[in-house]
Amino acid sequence: MYITLLLSPKVKNAYNSFENIILSLSHPNRKTQKPVLFIIIYRPPGPYSEFLTEFSDFLSTIVLDSDQIIILGDFNIHVDDPSDCLGKAFAALLDDVGFTQSVNEPTHCHKHTLDLVLTHGIEISQLSVLPLNPIISDHFLITFQLTLEHPSAPVNKKQLRRTLTDRSVSEFKHTVQPVLSDILRKYSETSSHSISPSIKDHFVNDALQALRSTLHVVVPLKPKFVRQNRVAPWFNAETRSLKQETRKLEREWRRSGSEQSLDIWKHSLLNYKKALRRARSQYYSTIISENGNNPRFLFSTIAKLTRSQSSVEPHVPVSCSCFSLSKETYPLISDSILTMINASLETGYVPQSFKYAVVKPLLKKPSLDPSILANYRPISNLPFISKILERVVVKQLNCHLQDNSHFEDFQSGFRPHHSTETALVRVSNDLLLASEKGLLSILVLLDLSAAFDTIDHGILLHRLEQDIGIRGSALQWFKSYLSHRYQFINVNGHSSQCTRVNYGVPQGSVLGPILFTLYMIPLGNIIRKHSINFHCYADDTQLYLSMKPDQNDQIEKLNACIRDIKTWMTINCLLLNPEKTEVLYLVLKTSEMLCLLR
């Protein structure tokens, strides 16, 4: 591996409370990739208030310059002393910015840990502190190993894409209209005598096949080599449209060569750049305002988002999505879609072709290890028209639940006018009020393992009928929706065998989340029986109670409630996740608790 080492004291970032030298390790042929930074720090002993401020600014600057950072040096901070104020403040600062401190042994002749190794986005191994050699220094020598991956060149990936133009959309409309009209006419004639599931399946399959085959003929899939550039997160529909218009005007100018077309293109280019700056500014303003009280998230997120400044000019594919085509042709296909939906609702039958899901695993968090299967969330990609049907059902179901007061009062997930914010405000408010009364509080955070995937269909249908009051053709529709579902996995263009789904509701569906909340309704009554405060958001449940320090019986009441919850979950095919279930004891003054909750 060929490397270039650049030794720079970074004079422009000179600080009064510490000294720093930065080595930048980069690849000569990968100029767009950020370098690995090796930073040497020396902080002389003395007052530390200025150091904390300056070092915080220093860290916030370098995490934007690189994704992999190692900081070495003599900080003269007793991080080994739990009572040391500077050590505690320094540890909190590192945690906020996302740095890890790896030295846990004395590094000085007076048995204190003063020399530190801080890492961000890179792992070290085999760290050891060698015995003291007083001839060389009164500090110990620290050694460790690290592995740097060879930066790979951008790869042009082959993809199959459709290129939609005004002409192809017009041709699609002209071709598909008579085909759909003929299919709809035949279905109307057949359904006037009898409507069996096979007839409905046949109609839906014919209509979808007509749309699919026409699309393949008019706009066939063609291989395209796509350069894997990172699209800026602030690149929105407005800037995309302006960019496409600007490129179109540029092509017209190059074709005509006229001064008028040149002026029009320059004016459009100026508007595009202004819109891009506005979108970028608005994006970061939103990020900062929404996460003002979460510095760790701010630093890690902004550092990742600014990985490549070249993303200001992202690659935008010229092909349009099938969703855009559906919007263009909706007046022509709306009668067929309306017939599918009405037939399904009237007869309580969901067409079989609507119940096949393509599962594409997605990492729950970008920081998780992609080689561990448990770190993936199985997102189901369902047919577009089936989601329209689900939205119609969800709208009617929400009205029924609202009119009959079936919503759990303390469930904030998947409900109109509710969010994580309503859950947070309610819990934090109750805990603050208890703190003002001089009470201590216990907060239990319950989390379920694979909650959406373990729902028992029989129990869910019984709950819909007995607790929610759904009967007749409506209940039959839900039975049809849950039964005979199939799915297969698709990763990198390779698909698994199709398997039947006997439990759970599809993640990625419109109806799945609200069905899960209805499945969990009895949980609230179990908790109320023990007079425990609680609040839920989807499968996350917060239990909390406040008491005087000498009320030990309250703890037993909480334990009894948790035992009943575990029993109910076992009966209902649910499982608590012990790794994510936590217990917090809050014995703080109001001002301290307010800071903690923020």
189-199 mean pLDDT: 72
CA distance 35 to 400: 58
Can you list the alpha helix ranges (DSSP code H) found in 485-542? 512-519, 521-529
CA distance 470 to 472: 7
Per-residue pLDDT of 487-510, as tens digits, reads 988 887 788 888 999 999 888 889
Phi-psi region of 438 (alpha: psi -120 to 50; beta: other; left: phi over 0): left
Model pLDDT, residue 534: 92
**Cα→Cα distances 284→221, 287, 288, 307, Å:** 37, 5, 6, 14
The CB density around residue 184, as the number of other CB atoms within 10 Å, is 18
Per-residue pLDDT of 100-114, as tens digits, reads 899 999 999 888 899
Q: Is the pLDDT of residue 145 over 50?
A: yes
| DSSP states along 256-298 | H--HHHHHHHHHHHHHHHHHHHHHHHHHHHHHHHHTTT-HHHH
Model pLDDT, residue 481: 93
Chain-wide mean pLDDT for the chain? 81
More confident residue, 512 or 591: 512
More confident residue, 370 or 307: 370
CA dihedral 448, 453, 459, 465 (to 10 degrees): 100
3-class state of residue 593 by DSSP: helix
Cβ atoms of residues 568 and 560 within 8 Å: no
Q: Which of 81-90, 153-162, 165-174, 541-550 has the lowest mean pLDDT?
A: 153-162
Residue 285 C-alpha from the chain's centroid: 19
Per-residue pLDDT of 263-298, as tens digits, reads 898 888 888 888 888 888 887 777 667 666 655 556
Confidence of residue 392 (pLDDT cuts 50, 70, 90): very high
Model pLDDT, residue 307: 47
Which residue from 406, 401, 399, 393 is spatially nearest to 473, judged by alpha carbons?
A: 393
Q: Which residues contact 531 (CB under 8 A, 6 or more apart)?
A: 557
Whole-angstrom Cα Rg for the chain: 31
Share of the chain above pLDDT 90, in %: 22
**Cα→Cα distances 491→101, 176, 373, 376, Å:** 37, 32, 13, 12
63-74 mean pLDDT: 85
Model pLDDT, residue 371: 79
The tokens for 455 are 């729902």
Question: Do strands 356-363 and 485-491 pair parallel, antiparallel, or not at all (unpaired)?
Answer: parallel
CA distance 22 to 228: 31
Confidence of residue 561 (pLDDT cuts 50, 70, 90): very high
Residue with tokens 């970028």: 280
